[in-house]
Amino acid sequence: MKQRIAILGASGYTGAELIRLLLPHPHAEIVTLTADSQAGKSMREVYPHLDCAGLPNLIPLSAVDYHGIDVVFCCLPHGTTQQVIAEIPRHVKVIDLSADFRLADTDAYAQWYGHAHFAPELQKEAVYGLTELNRNKIKNARLVANPGCYPTSAQLPLMPLLKEKLIEADNIIIDAKSGMTGAGRAAKQTVLFTEINEGVDAYSISAHRHAPEIEQGLTLAYGKQVIVNFTPHHMPMNRGILSTIYVSLAKGKRPEDLVACLANAYQNEYFVRLTAKGVAPATHMVRGTNVCLIGVFADRLPGRAILVSVMDNLVKGASGQAVQNMNLMCGFPEKTALEQTALFP
């Protein structure tokens, strides 16, 4: 039986990417698409590349009938999602792509997002959807908080190493760069072509909201509080995230130990892979795919190593991981509709 799918906030980049991934999914049927600002339009009017027969027209969020829906993907802005999901009937599985349920500590959410959590009871049941490292809980979840793009690129290489105490926890530097789709589709001066083209800029320095999400996962893996130095950058490209992560090795450990640990942790994983020795991951290697590539390199400074992690911010960093989580929640093979080969060049 096909799962009847609703995408709330379908006119944004993550909503459009969900449609692209779900259209060939053998067990999914898209029955509802919402976008208040575009209500009444067809998807082909908003995204001409989605000129597909059978897609429903966009409707206002208030018009959704949840009784005919099995799974909801919520692509609404943070701060609005908590109240929306609180009103969704209990029979519906929910994958939330906003930040509203990612932080288990509601006080931390209030601190970083500037307002109280509107659904603290729901937060207690929300499962963090970093698929490869939280698979068993995701399988039985009703509400999954899909991770942020930067946190996915940082946690996948770092959590196994911290769990095995192979690196020091107090000296982690994450230098991350993202394509401009990460800034959303709304028109903003700072992301106009002439503002971003032929340049790179750091933003939200020492204050990016993904920092506590990264630290939450790393602290869980290490068993003690972990604080990281995290700085994101805008890159003049459409898709992709590249995180360069600088770590200090634990006493007596070598970069080869990091490679062995990650190879063991992800040996049976389809979507998380290590590059060959000496091969630096690049964003074009994963464009359009649900794959995260990780490379490990010895620093020229003794006792240090450099990790490089790349992925497509719209796929593994958002919509692809959301579909991967849906597959788990609904009992489908995890790779279903997600085995795309990278687009190159």
Share of the chain above pLDDT 70, in %: 100
Quick one: pLDDT band at residue 345, thresholds 50, 70, 90? confident
**Domain assignment of residue 77, yes or no:** yes
Active-site pick, 149, 261, 292, 330: 149
- CB-based contacts of 229: which residues, under 8 Å, 6+ apart? 172, 173, 174
Q: Among 35, 42, 43, which residue's Cα sits nearest to residue 9?
A: 35
**Domain assignment of residue 189, yes or no:** yes
**Does one domain contain both 109 and 247?**
no
Question: What average pLDDT does range 9-24 have in this prediction?
Answer: 96
**Does one domain contain both 230 and 101?**
no
Handedness of CA 254, 259, 262, 265 (dihedral sign): negative
Q: Among 308, 316, 313, which residue's Cα sits nearest to residue 339?
A: 316
For residue 126, the 8-state DSSP code is -
Domain CATH number, residue 66:
3.40.50.720
**Domain assignment of residue 336, yes or no:** no
Handedness of CA 88, 92, 98, 100 (dihedral sign): positive
**Does one domain contain both 236 and 190?**
yes
**Does one domain contain both 55 and 171?**
no
Question: What average pLDDT does range 168-187 have in this prediction?
Answer: 92
- Tens of pLDDT, residue by residue over 287-335, are 999 999 999 999 999 999 999 999 999 999 999 999 999 999 999 999 9
Sheet holding 71-74, edge to edge: 58-59, 28-34, 3-8, 71-74, 93-96, 143-145, 127-128
Quick one: pLDDT band at residue 53, thresholds 50, 70, 90? confident
**Does one domain contain both 154 and 223?**
yes
Q: What is the pTM of this model?
A: 0.96
**Does one domain contain both 154 and 254?**
yes
**Does one domain contain both 101 and 203?**
no
149 is catalytic: yes
CB atoms under 10 Å from CB of 114, counted, come to: 10
**Domain assignment of residue 247, yes or no:** yes
Boundaries of domain holding 72: 3-125
**Does one domain contain both 290 and 157?**
yes
